[in-house]
């Protein structure tokens, strides 16, 4: 109940300064549609094309990238807001629509999906060369792009849900791309299933909000928030929590994080675009879309505490696991979890811009890191860092770009990660002083500690991969140009992306995101908080230094590395806090095993037994009735009559001699008898 937040409700306004974006915004529905249509084309004609369908996928991403960046530039120069809808059904009092929204938030996402997607798709042409299902890979990948764009262009919650689950489907398909191996399938199912559990929250949240407001449009919901709709206020906490549970699933927040590391079973470009840059940020995007709902005190502001705590747990706990992973992709996966934790923390701290800014920069450098890791994996045919080492010489471009990505991730000035992480730290610090209270203060320290961990595990990854002796068996070589050029492009973006939002100097990004019909009511720093920036930078440098000391081959003795294996902590980290095991033992195995069997057993032996018992009982009864009553009672009498008749006939038929004279005699005798009778009795 801080005065700032109370004031915020008064700031609602219909900004007249936004342009409608003209024809480009009007046709923004093409952004999701083009990839989806091309996806269908790839499925049906892809194999017959010269590049086996890759060209269509690349064309789709090129289209999205150009469209998105054009919108971004237009938005930067004035601010765009446009929303269009097509009704696809009317059911009772509700209208179901297909909508597209072109505002600061969605334009930012279009650009990220387009640009990172373009890089990843280009890279994939080299990486996936000779793959068993090359065309199908691009079809599914394009499906993902389309679905992701459906999600971010959604003007209403139902469309968001459609995109939300379709990206989940694409994720399932691509994680299980090599489905001959059942361990990949298990990972794919785990991803889909975990998300589906969290989606229960999303669905329930959407239903609660949609029914209460009477509309599924984000605009109507947020208008209700600004109007102080009391009915919505009553359910706001539960609805907000439910939506956040959905976001936790997609953004892999603790305790739904388990699917993301396993999702690394998919091809590396998939990990890059989906499981680092875009798809997993959908949860953060949703929080951003619904931001004022969480920001207002009478609505779901209480959920923010939960959000910030969940985010903090994720950012720190998952960062620690990254320290003990040998699989380079898993290191990056846990790092992604940790960074998503940062974004979530920012959202929980009421920092709309900071959270999404980190989403923006993270997309570039984490996408880059995965692609560079993929380049290494491509060269050494192994995911494990124990099979790598000393690769900086044979793979100079991969090394350089990976290094740029690592430094950006670690938050070293002046790379992109520095600016966005600093913005988050500043926001938490602000929140700690303005309503966030002790929790925010604690989270601030966790976030700073997290920065140390981040730098530490990235240093470890860099040293183990690129320094020391080569320990693998393949003959590493630099990847082809089609793979290195995207790396270089993304590296360049990782360097410069932070400059779009330097507090006090150029805050373009803040304005881009603010191009929405509602005031987000978030706080963003007017100038750089030099103290925090210095702390953040120092901590990161300390992390790198520690990593260097421990992992640089020349500097580290085996004893020192063993000391790193802290007795209790190390096994706990290695087993990922036993959370996966807990889920398996407590949830998945019982349901799939005993519970399901029990239900099936009841079906056969209880319900069906009753049915069969009716059947059996009626059989027994029927036999009793048949033998006792029918056969021995009624039928006996009937048969007795029939038998007697037969016997009598048998006896009497002998009178039919065929001799006419006997008949005549009998006739005569009869006549005589009759006459005698007549005489006697009358």
Partner 1 sequence: MLVTQFLILGALLFSIGIYGVLVRRNAVLVLLSIELMLAAVNINLVAFGAFLQDTMLGGQAFALFVITIAAAEVGIGLAIVVLIFRNRSSANVDELDLMRW
Partner 2 sequence: MEMFDDGWGLSLIVFLPLAGAGLILLLPKAQEGLIKLVGLAFALLSFAASVVAILRFDFGAAEQFQFGTDLSWISAIGSRYHIGIDGISLPLLVLSTLMTVLAIVYSLNHWPEPHNPKAFLVLLLLLATGMNGTFVALDLVLFFIFFELVLLPMYFMIGIWGDRAKIRLPGFRREVETRLYASIKFFLFTLFGSAFMLLGFLALYFKSDPHTFDMVALAEAGQMGLFDGTFGAWVFAALFIGFAVKVPMWPLHTWLPDAHTAAPTVGSVLLAAILLKLGSYGFIRISLPILPQQAQDWAPIIAVLAVIAIIYGALACLAQTDLKRLIAFSSVGHMGFVMLGISTLTDVGINAAVIGMVAHGIITGMLFFLAGSMQHRYHTRDMARLGGNMKTLPIIGGLMAFTAMASLGLPGLAGFWGEFMALLASFNPLDGLSLVVFRTAMVVGAVGTVLTAGYMLWMLQKVNLGEPSEEWAGKDLHDADKFELAAWVPLVLGIVAIGVYPKIVFGATNDAVTELVRRAFGG
List residues binding partner 2 (CB under 8 A).
87-94, 96, 158, 161-162, 164-166, 169, 172, 176, 179-182, 185-186, 188-189, 192-193, 196-197, 199-200, 203-204, 207-208, 210-211, 591-592, 595-597, 599-600, 603-605, 607-609, 611-613, 615-616
Cβ–Cβ under 8 Å, residues 50 and 81: no
Which CB atom, from 622 or from 669, has the smaller least distance to partner 1? 669
Of 28, 2, 265, 53, nearest to 152 by C-alpha is: 28
Tell me how many degrees the CA angle 333-392-412 measures, rounded to the nearest 5: 55
Q: Which residues pair with 84 in a beta bridge?
A: 100
Residue (625 or 669) nearer to partner 1, CB: 669
Q: Select 603 or 662, whichever has its Cβ closest to partner 1.
A: 662
- Closer CB to partner 2, 76 or 233, in the complex: 233
Q: What's the token pair of residue 608?
A: 């069906």
Query: Binds 632, which of partner 2, partner 1, none (CB < 5 to 8 A, cut-off by type)?
Result: none
Binding-site partner at residue 230 among partner 2, partner 1, none, CB < 5 to 8 Å by type: none
Is 3 an interacting residue with respect to partner 1 (CB under 8 A)?
no
657 interacts with, out of partner 2, partner 1, none, CB within 5 to 8 A per kind: partner 1
If the CB atoms of residues 151 and 301 are measured against partner 2, the closer one turns out to be 151
Residues in the chain: 682
Query: Which of these, 500, 280, 543, 320, lies nearest to 411 by C-alpha position?
Result: 543
- Interaction of residue 657 with partner 1, rule CB under 8 A: yes
From the CB of 142, what's the least distance to partner 2, in Å?
15
> Residue 156: which residues within 8 A CB-CB, separation 6 or more?
85, 96, 97, 99, 215, 216, 217, 218
Q: Does 505 bind partner 1 (CB under 8 A)?
A: no
DSSP 480: P
Q: Which does 96 bind (CB under 5 to 8 A by kind): partner 1, partner 2, none?
A: partner 2
The torsion of the CA quartet 138, 140, 146, 152, rounded to 10 degrees, works out to: -120
Alpha carbon distance 523, 61 (integer Å): 34
Q: In angstroms, what is the minimal distance from the CB of 663 to partner 1?
A: 9
Q: What is the CA radius of gyration of the chain?
A: 38
Span near partner 1 by CB under 8 A; candidates 107-115, 598-606, 637-645, 651-659:
651-659
Query: Is residue 50 involved in binding partner 1 (CB under 8 A)?
Result: no
Q: Is 658 in the site for partner 1 (CB under 8 A)?
A: yes
Decide which of partner 1, partner 2, none touches 29; Cβ closer than 5 to 8 Å per partner kind: none
What is the crossing angle of helices 328-348 and 416-433, to 10°?
Answer: 40
If the CB atoms of residues 47 and 561 are measured against partner 2, the closer one turns out to be 47
Angle at 498 between CA 402 and CA 452, to 5 degrees: 60
* One of 628, 643, 665, 670 touching partner 1 (CB under 8 A): 665
**In whole angstroms, what is the distance from residue 256 CA to residue 528 CA?**
35
Q: In the complex, what is the shortest distance from the CB of residue 164 to partner 2, in angstroms, rounded to a whole number?
A: 8
Size of the site for partner 1 (CB under 8 A): 11
b/e map 227-236, b = 16+ CB within 10 Å: eebeebbebb
Contacted entry of partner 2, partner 1, none for residue 555, CB cut-off 5 to 8 Å set by kind:
none
- Select 211 or 579, whichever has its Cβ closest to partner 2: 211
Burial 301-322 (b: 16+ CB within 10 A, else e): bebbebbbbbbbbbbbbbbbbb
Work out what residue 676 binds among partner 2, partner 1, none; the CB cut-off runs from 5 to 8 Å by kind: none
Q: Does 660 bind partner 1 (CB under 8 A)?
A: yes
Question: Does 679 participate in binding partner 1 (rule CB under 8 A)?
Answer: no
Rounded to 10°, the helix 230-250/157-175 angle is 10
Q: How far apart are CA 658 and CA 663, in angstroms?
A: 8
| Minimum separation from the CB atom of position 656 to partner 1 (A) | 4
Smallest gap from Cβ 640 to partner 1, in A, equals: 24
Q: 300 near 293, Cβ under 8 Å?
A: yes
Binding-site member from 17, 48, 473, 659 for partner 1 (CB under 8 A):
659
Q: Which is nearer to partner 2, 597 or 632 (CB)?
A: 597
Dist CA 682 CA 669 (whole Å): 20
177 or 362: whose CB is closer to partner 2? 177
What's the token pair of residue 442?
């604690």
Q: Specify the residue, 6 or 622, whose C-beta has the smaller distance to partner 2.
A: 622
Kindly state whether residue 651 participates in binding partner 1, applying the rule CB under 8 A: no
Question: What b/e string do you get for 452-472 counting C-beta neighbours within 10 Å, with b at 16 or more?
Answer: bbbbbbbbbbbbbbbbbebeb
| Among 590, 588, 599, residue whose Cα is nearest residue 186 | 588
Task: Dig out the tokens for 361 from the structure.
Answer: 């920069």
Q: Work out what residue 682 binds among partner 2, partner 1, none; the CB cut-off runs from 5 to 8 Å by kind.
A: none
Residue 668 is a binding residue for partner 1 (CB under 8 A)? yes
Query: Which stretch, 230-238, 249-257, 407-415, 659-667, contacts partner 1 (CB under 8 A)?
Result: 659-667
- Calpha distance 589→15 (Å, rounded): 54
Q: Between residues 386 and 600, which has the closer beta carbon with respect to partner 2?
A: 600
> Which of partner 1, partner 2, none lies near 605, with the C-beta cut-off 5 to 8 A by kind?
partner 2
- Which residues of this protein are in contact with partner 1, per CB under 8 A? 653-654, 656-661, 664-665, 668
């Amino acid at each position: 109940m801080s005065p700032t937040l109370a004031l915020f409700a008064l700031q609602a306004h219909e900004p007249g300064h936004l342009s409608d974006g003209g024809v480009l915004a009007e046709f923004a529905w093409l952004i999701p549609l083009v990839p989806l249509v091309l996806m269908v084309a790839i499925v049906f004609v892809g194999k017959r094309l010269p590049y086996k369908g890759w060209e269509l996928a690349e064309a789709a991403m090129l289209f999205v990238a150009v469209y998105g960046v054009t919108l971004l530039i237009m938005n930067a120069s004035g601010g765009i807001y446009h929303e269009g809808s097509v009704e696809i059904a009317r059911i009772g009092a509700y209208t179901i629509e297909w909508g597209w929204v072109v505002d600061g938030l969605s334009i930012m996402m279009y650009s990220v999906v387009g640009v990172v997607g373009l890089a990843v798709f280009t890279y994939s042409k080299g990486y996936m060369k000779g793959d068993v299902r090359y065309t199908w890979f691009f079809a599914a990948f394009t499906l993902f792009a389309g679905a992701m764009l459906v999600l971010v262009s959604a003007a209403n919650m139902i469309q968001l849900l459609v995109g939300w689950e379709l990206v989940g489907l694409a994720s399932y398909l691509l994680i299980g791309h090599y489905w001959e191996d059942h361990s990949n399938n298990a990972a794919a199912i785990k991803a889909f299933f975990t998300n589906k559990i969290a989606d229960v929250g999303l669905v329930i949240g959407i239903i609660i909000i949609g029914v209460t407001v009477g509309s599924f449009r984000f605009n109507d919901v947020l208008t209700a928030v600004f109007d102080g709709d009391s009915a919505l206020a009553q359910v706001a906490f539960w609805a907000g929590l439910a939506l956040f549970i959905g976001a936790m699933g997609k953004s892999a927040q603790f305790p739904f994080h388990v699917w993301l590391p396993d999702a690394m079973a998919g091809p590396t470009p998939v990990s890059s675009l989906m499981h680092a840059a875009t798809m997993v940020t959908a949860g953060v995007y949703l929080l951003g879309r619904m931001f004022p709902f969480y920001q207002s005190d009478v609505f779901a502001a209480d959920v923010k505490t939960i959000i910030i705590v969940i985010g903090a747990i994720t950012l720190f706990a998952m960062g620690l696991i990254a320290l003990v992973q040998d699989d380079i992709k898993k290191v990056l996966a846990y790092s992604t979890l940790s960074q998503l934790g940062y974004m979530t923390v920012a959202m929980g701290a009421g920092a709309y811009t900071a959270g999404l800014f980190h989403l923006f920069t993270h997309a570039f450098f984490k996408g880059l890191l995965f692609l560079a890791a993929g380049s290494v994996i491509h060269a050494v045919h192994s995911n494990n860092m124990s099979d790598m080492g000393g690769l900086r010489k044979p793979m100079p471009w991969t090394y350089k770009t990976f290094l740029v990505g690592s430094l950006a991730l670690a938050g070293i000035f002046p790379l992109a990660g520095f600016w966005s992480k600093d913005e988050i730290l500043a926001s938490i610090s602000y929140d700690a002083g303005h309503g966030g209270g002790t929790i925010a203060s604690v989270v601030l320290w966790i976030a700073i500690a997290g920065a140390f961990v981040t730098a530490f595990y990235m240093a470890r990854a860099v040293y183990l991969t690129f320094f020391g002796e080569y320990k693998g068996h393949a003959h590493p070589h630099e990847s082809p140009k089609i793979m290195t050029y995207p790396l270089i492009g993304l590296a360049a973006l990782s360097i410069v992306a932070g400059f779009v939002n330097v507090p006090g100097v150029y805050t373009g990004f803040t304005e881009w995101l603010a191009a929405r019909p509602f005031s987000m009511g978030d706080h963003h720093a007017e100038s750089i908080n030099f103290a925090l920036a210095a702390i953040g930078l120092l901590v990161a440098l300390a992390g790198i230094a520690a990593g260097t000391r421990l992992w640089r081959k020349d500097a580290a003795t085996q004893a020192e590395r063993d000391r790193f294996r802290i007795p209790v902590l190390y096994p706990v980290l290695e087993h990922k806090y036993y959370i996966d095991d807990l889920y398996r033992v407590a949830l998945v195995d019982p349901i799939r095993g005993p519970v399901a069997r029990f239900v099936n057993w009841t079906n056969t032996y209880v319900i069906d037994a009753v049915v069969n018992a009716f059947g059996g009982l009626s059989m027994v009864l029927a036999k009793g009735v048949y033998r006792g009553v029918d056969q021995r009672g009624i039928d006996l009498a009937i048969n007795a009559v029939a038998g007697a008749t037969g016997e009598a006939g048998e006896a009497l038929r002998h009178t039919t001699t065929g001799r006419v004279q006997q008949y005549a005699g009998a006739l005569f005798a009869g006549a005589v008898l009759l006459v005698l009778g007549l005489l006697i009795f009358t």
